[in-house]
Amino acid sequence: MKNKLTIREKRQRAARKLKLKFAAAVFLLLLVIQSFVISLTGSEGYVFRKLSGAFGIRDFPLNACDYDLSISFVDVGKADCILIRSENSNIMIDCGEYSLDGKALEYLKKTGTEHIDIFIASHTDSDHIGDFASVSDNISIGDVWLSSSHKDVPAKTEDERILFDRIKEHGIDIFYPEEKTYKIGDISMEVLSSGGQKTENNNSLVIRMKYKEISCLFTGDAEKQVEKKLLSSGKELKADVYKIAHHGSNTSTTEAFLKAVSPECAVITSDSKNKYLPSRPVTDRLREYGCRVLRTDKCGTIILGTDGKKINILTEKAESKK
């Protein structure tokens, strides 16, 4: 009986070693495949991420930590939540709608983000600041940037009241940026529009971020009136990445503005349950322009990673061609 048990143990030990060798071989093969896919497309393979996830190797948000700078467009439905990570700073633009499962906070935790140097509220609609309480109660924040339209103005909505209450409670500084360039570590943030408009959407902070040779335009929910103002201002609008305003609504992204931005990649934050956004005229314009369009309703969370010269695109889900 003892000899039989010893033989069984030896067989089990040999089987475990074989499994480990097989897993290691598969992982190395996946690394080779990933490098090949990235060299051809600049995008990490969906199959690689799924297989590596199946082997317990990688949780998707951790990909944001692999680059000199990454921009995560977190899938929070028809809402904005953007995390910019670099070696020297963490910047968050909006945090989505209030949610019981705390999607914005969950993403921050999964990326190991313990401090946000600057939280930028593009504007104060609920789908941009609604989850601020959850974020600020759990993550330390240095400064909050707000549109000048909210300076010395009392809160008008419940979301604004919660925002200002939490800012006061946690001792966070409020900053009302002017229309100029601010250096944050190795990132330049040029504020192109800082508020003073008639509607909350048009009070959105419009910011052109620059990191080495890579640029990205963040537009909040700014509409045609702001686009017209920016076009006539003579300011530099060209950007490699263009965060489409107002979730792809036809109130924004005019043909003239799109041409001025001339992006290689456009990102739309949207919800598959919303039948009206993004609007067909906007998606048609983007298709005709020929830039790559990434949508959170189809791709899930989108991570753009860069060394300052080249952008790698990673999507949580396989991109739908429909």
Residue 2 clears pLDDT 80, i.e. is over it = no
Residue 110 and residue 37 in one domain: no
**pLDDT at residue 249, as a whole number:** 97
Which of 34, 58, 82 terminates a domain? The answer is 58
- Asked if residue 29 belongs to a domain, the reply is yes
- Asked if residue 227 belongs to a domain, the reply is yes
Mean pLDDT for 145-153 is: 95
Cβ neighbors of 5 (< 8 A, separation 6 or more) are none
Residue 52 and residue 68 in one domain: no
Which of 58, 75, 94 terminates a domain? The answer is 58
- Asked if residue 46 belongs to a domain, the reply is yes
**pLDDT at residue 41, as a whole number:** 45
Residue 45 and residue 118 in one domain: no
Residue 67 and residue 48 in one domain: no
Residue 67 and residue 50 in one domain: no
CA distance 125 to 226: 17
- Asked if residue 320 belongs to a domain, the reply is no
Angle separating helix axes 2-41 and 46-54, nearest 10 degrees: 160
Residue 4 and residue 35 in one domain: yes
Residue 153 and residue 15 in one domain: no
Cβ neighbors of 233 (< 8 A, separation 6 or more) are 192
What is the count of structural domains for the chain? 2
Residue 248 and residue 220 in one domain: yes
**pLDDT at residue 36, as a whole number:** 61
Report pLDDT digits (tens) over 105-123.
999 999 999 999 999 999 9
CA distance 166 to 43: 39
Residue 14 and residue 68 in one domain: no
Residue 129 and residue 180 in one domain: yes
Greater model confidence, 53 or 263: 263
- Asked if residue 190 belongs to a domain, the reply is yes
pTM comes to: 0.83
**pLDDT at residue 274, as a whole number:** 87
Residue 208 and residue 72 in one domain: yes
CA distance 120 to 246: 16
For residue 29, give its domain range. 1-58
**pLDDT at residue 1, as a whole number:** 47
Report pLDDT digits (tens) over 201-239.
999 999 999 999 999 999 999 999 999 999 999 999 999
pLDDT band at residue 25 under the 50/70/90 scheme: confident
Residue 303's SS3 state is strand
pLDDT cut 70: percent of the chain above it: 85
Residue 5 and residue 154 in one domain: no
**How much is the mean pLDDT over the chain?**
89
pLDDT cut 90: percent of the chain above it: 76
- Asked if residue 322 belongs to a domain, the reply is no
- CB-based contact 187:86 (threshold 8 Å): yes
- Asked if residue 120 belongs to a domain, the reply is yes
- Asked if residue 32 belongs to a domain, the reply is yes
